[in-house]
Structures are given as C-alpha cells and as structure tokens.
Amino acid sequence: MKDKEVNTTLGEPQYHEEWIRIYRGPELEPYYGYAFDLADRYFRVTPPGPVLDAGCGTGNHIRHLTQRGYDVVGIDYSAYAIASAQRNLDTLRSGQTVHLEVADLLKLPYQDDTFSRVLCWGVLMHIPSLEQAIAELCRVTAPGGRLVIGEANQNALQVKLTGLVRRVLRKPPRGDYHRTPAGIETWDGPPGNRIVARRANIRWLVNTFQSYGASCIGRHSGELTQIYADLNNRHLIRWVHLLNRIGYRWLRVPGVAATNILIFEKRCAPPASG
C-alpha cells in the first residue's frame, strides 16, 4: 500500500518540477561533473553495453552519461517524467543511443544478468519496499557488472547538527518521522498523497546489496550538506555549493557527507531461496 501511495505521488508533475528547481540548477553542474566522472571510472572497465538508468526522471543523468560516451536505457515509474525526457531527447542523447520506457523498479522488465552498468541515483530513498528494489537491481546486473548508487547518509554531520538544534529548541521532527533498520524515514504530504525520503543506514545498505550478490568496492563523498534546498538567498546558496565542492574534492570523508556515492560489483548470483 505504501509503495502504491508513493508511486501515485511521484507520478504527479509538480514533484518533478520542484526537483528540477532545487537539484538541477547550474550551481550543481560541478557536482554532477565530479559524480559522473567517478561513475565513468568504474563503468569503463566493465563489459560493453548500455547503462541502465533506474529512476531516470526527466533525464538529467542521461545527459551526463551520454556526454561520456554511454548508450542508456532509462526507466522511470512516472509517465510524466519519461514523456519530459522524450521531448528533450535530442538534447540528452549527445549522439548516443537512448531508449526510454515506463517501468517499475520493484519489477524490472528485463531478464537476469542483462546489464553490466547500472545507475540508481537518489531513487532508493523514495521507495518503501527498499530491499525488493535492491534485489531487482542486483538481479538484472550481470556478473562482473557495476552498480553506482547515490543515496543520503543518516550519519551525516548535517543530520546530527539538525537533530541537536531541534532537541535544544524542543522542535519535533518535520513530517512523519521513523527510524528503521534501513535508515531514517520522513513521510511528508497529506494522507493518500505522501512521499518518503530516507537517509540511509549505509552499513545496512552495503550488507543488503551483499546479500543479493553485489559487493561494495567503493564509497565516496557526495555533498557535505543539502541545506541549499531550504535557502532562498542566492549568495548563501553559492557559499553552500562552494563548501560542498571543498568537501567532495578535497576532504573526501563520506562518513560525514550528506550524500554518498556507493559502487557495487556483482560477484555471484543471489542465493537460492528456501
């Protein structure tokens, strides 16, 4: 039921438009340049084939992948997002082959071991049935293939400082707040039209991918903070992005970063059930 509720919410245009406003501005291009150069470093040593962009949204990540010479299969649950990406396909494809389709990450329409390169960026945090999504990503990844996963980090310095300030001010957490083994979940929105955002327990995430045959071979710093999403002052936002660039290029301490980039390699088939 929760998956259906979230999927309904994510299918609405305003959520994608809000993400574009906050997370697709020119100030973030240096970060995406860093992140996709990192992904390229891991993908280039895998067997040839397209990248599965699982949860491709309106296509920003497709653009970065094709600029680095990759063909892409992009899927998203939202028909609106796929239609938006399709309208902009000439801009996104950079001469590469791009195939787009509406598909559910909890039931991917591909055979086992189809892709040697898989990207799932900022998507798992919005899926209630997280372990099922991980199982599907691992199932369609071929042995020796790489998965690049971008997720929020529950142990980030920003999370700890925010929690401390709320305790001092005696302010309750925003939204419907839950601690789970997989991480800290915040549910926002009215009943029947909610969305979940999860700050991942990175250790749980790594262990769960491992249980489905994908070993973590790299953990890298993403942004130190995403506080810019709550700011309105352009000068402050620019300073936050500068701080983030220092973090992921020079400090490189993923344990305190708000977002982490995790690299997995499919080493074996998932264990047989029963």
Q: Is residue 190 part of a domain?
A: yes
Q: Is residue 224 part of a domain?
A: yes
Q: Is residue 140 part of a domain?
A: yes
pLDDT at 174: 66
pLDDT digits (tens, 9 = 90+) for 166-223: 666 666 666 678 899 999 998 887 777 788 899 999 999 999 999 999 999 999 999 9
218: containing domain:
2-266
The strand pairing partners of 119, in sequence order, are 53, 148
Q: Is residue 215 part of a domain?
A: yes
Residue 107: helix, strand or coil by DSSP? Answer: strand
Q: Which residues contact 16 (CB under 8 A, 6 or more apart)?
A: 57, 58, 78, 80, 81, 84
Cβ(28)–Cβ(241) below 8 Å: yes
Cβ(8)–Cβ(190) below 8 Å: no
- Match 């300073």 to its residue by tokens: 239
Q: Is residue 16 part of a domain?
A: yes
pLDDT at 2: 78
Beta strands at 72-76 and 51-54: parallel, antiparallel or unpaired: parallel
What is the DSSP secondary-structure string of 162-211?
Answer: HHHHHHHHTPPPSSEEEEETTEEEEEESSTTS-EEEEEE-HHHHHHHHHH
What is the reported pTM? 0.93
CA distance 272 to 274: 7
Structural domain count of the chain: 1
Q: Is residue 254 part of a domain?
A: yes
Query: Is residue 41 within a helix (H) or strand (E), and if so which, with residue range?
Result: helix 29-43
Q: Is residue 272 part of a domain?
A: no
CATH code assigned at 205:
3.40.50.150
pLDDT digits (tens, 9 = 90+) for 86-128: 999 999 999 999 999 999 999 999 999 999 999 999 999 999 9
pLDDT digits (tens, 9 = 90+) for 62-86: 999 999 999 999 999 999 999 999 9
Residue 58: helix, strand or coil by DSSP? Answer: coil
Q: Is residue 271 part of a domain?
A: no
